[in-house]
A and B are shown apart, each in its own frame.
Chain A
């Protein structure tokens, strides 16, 4: 690792003071991506601001017809939460598929979406469920939040506080994990409700998570896997690396989408 200064502030004003005017400072949440990145010397922040001691950033609650999850809530807690399992079972199931148990014990929702890794799972849920990302400055619809590879709408000194997931409708997430890293080679979060269908694809897009509008249109007409017959993503536009070609990922994303649709149909 390159040298950095470590801080563990106990309130948000101190976080702002530390971030203010320092573009080289980075926030540390669960650290399950960031620490690996530091070890590989792929990042060299001047300051690491640990959010672990900020009160009120972790927790889950039902507020009206929404589910609110704090930014520092661990994946394991989302996966095991009776509240999430009842209100938004697809999200609890998704959290259960992230990394491995030890990673889920540390990794957080806020860390995952702030990083916007193209193979992360939560961005797909945020997009398909039309979540709202609440920061200390504003509320950002998920559709405007995920900009590009590892790029979000967050400003340098902006801190995610919580994510609001609207309830209602039915959703399912299907993922084909890389056998070593457990990151999604392709993941599809499908949601339907109120006459709408949303399909969010992760793990494959060169610009990170995206909505597959052609699949959404086909499923709006007929919500059945057969509605997707002959419909596939363009492999040339997908990530191609040592783990798989773009064509392979495009195919996988299509298969995951079909499986997610079947899973929703099986819910009845």
Chain B
């Protein structure tokens, strides 16, 4: 067992865990932050994508002890039902989901795209960037629209500016 201290969605968290605990298990099972999903558990589907020190990672491919001292942001940390983050709002507006299982990972992957590419991304860029996030409903079309719109909204860039 090892005691780690990290920041999760802005709050300091101290947990004593088996070193084999994955970051996604810490989030879901210990901290009850079940917005981060486990789809494949083989780091292919991207449903567990969170931000680690602001960078998109698959939480099933990171040990919780590796996050010791770092800052984790999950889908719960960016906005809630009362105050949706503009990226979440874009998914609602464009219906960027069907069953919704992959949605948390899609939203967090979208934020990581904005970090690297800025607010104005073309469709090809977003589709290429989504290679690590799988939607089994095959609802990619609206997901791509939502990420493009959410990205623009993050910088309040009008769509016409494209």
Q: Interface of A with B (CB < 8 Å)? A: 1, 3-6, 8, 28, 31-32, 35-36, 38-39, 48, 50, 52, 76, 80, 99-103, 105-106, 180-182
Hey, which chain B residues are within 8 Å of A76, CB to CB?
A: 116
Q: Which residues of B28-79 are within 8 A (CB) of A?
A: 41-44, 46, 49, 55-58, 61-63, 65-66, 68
> Which A-chain residue is minimally distant from B20 (CB atoms)?
A1
Q: Collect the chain B residues with CB atoms within 8 Å of residue A102's CB.
A: 43, 46, 49, 56-58, 61, 109, 112, 132
Pair B112/A101 contact, Cβ less than 8 Å: yes
- Residues of B contacting A35 in the complex (Cβ-Cβ under 8 angstroms): 22, 43, 61-63
In the assembled complex, which residues on chain A have CB atoms less than 8 Å from the CB atom of B46?
Answer: 100, 102
Which B93-118 residues sit within 8 Å CB-CB of chain A? Answer: 109, 112-113, 116
- Cβ A105 vs Cβ B56 within 8 A: yes
Q: How far is the CA of A35 from the CA of B61 in the complex (A)?
A: 6
A8, A32, A38, A102 pick with most chain B CB within 10 angstroms: A102
Number of interface residues of B (CB under 8 A): 28
Query: Does B129 have its Cβ within 8 Å of any Cβ on chain A?
Result: yes
Does B124 reach chain A (CB closer than 8 Å)? no
Distance between B140 CB and nearest chain A CB, rounded to angstroms: 15
* Bound-complex Cα distance A80 to B57 (A): 17
Decide if the interface of chain B is mainly helix, strand, loop or mixed. Answer: mixed
How far, in whole Å, are A4 and B21 apart by their CA atoms in the complex? 11
If over half of A's interface residues share one DSSP class (helix, strand or loop), that class is named, otherwise mixed; here it is mixed
- Among A4, A50, A101, A182, the residue within 8 A (CB) of B66 is A50
Q: Which of A31, A38, A101, A103 has the most CB of B within 10 A?
A: A101
B12 at the binding interface (Cβ < 8 Å): no
Q: Which of chain B's residues has its CB closest to A39's CB?
A: B41
Which residues of A sit under 8 angstroms from B62, Cβ to Cβ?
A: 31, 35, 106
Report, nearest first, the 4 A-B pairs whose CB atoms are least far apart.
A100-B132, A6-B19, A1-B20, A102-B58
CA distance A39 to B59 in the complex (A): 13
Contact between A80 and B116, CB atoms less than 8 A apart? yes
**Does B131 have its Cβ within 8 Å of any Cβ on chain A?**
yes
Most buried by A among B2, B41, B43: B43
Complex CA distance for A38 and B129, rounded to whole angstroms? 27
**CB proximity of A48 to chain B, nearest CB, Å:** 8
The smallest beta-carbon distance between A128 and chain B, in angstroms, is 25
- Which residue from chain A places its CB closest to the CB of B108 in the assembled complex? A102
Q: Could you tell me if A6 and B49 are in contact, using CB atoms closer than 8 angstroms?
A: no
CB distance from A57 to the nearest CB of B (A): 15
Query: How distant is A194 from chain B, measured CB to nearest CB, in Å?
Result: 35
Q: How far is the CA of A80 from the CA of B112 in the complex (A)?
A: 14
Nearest residue (CB) in B for A4 is B19
Question: A3-B20, A101-B129, A102-B109 known; 6 other A-B pairs, CB under 8 Å?
Answer: A35-B63, A50-B65, A100-B133, A102-B49, A103-B58, A103-B61
Contacts of B68 in A (CB 8 A): 8
Report Cα–Cα, A36/B40, bound state, in Å.
12
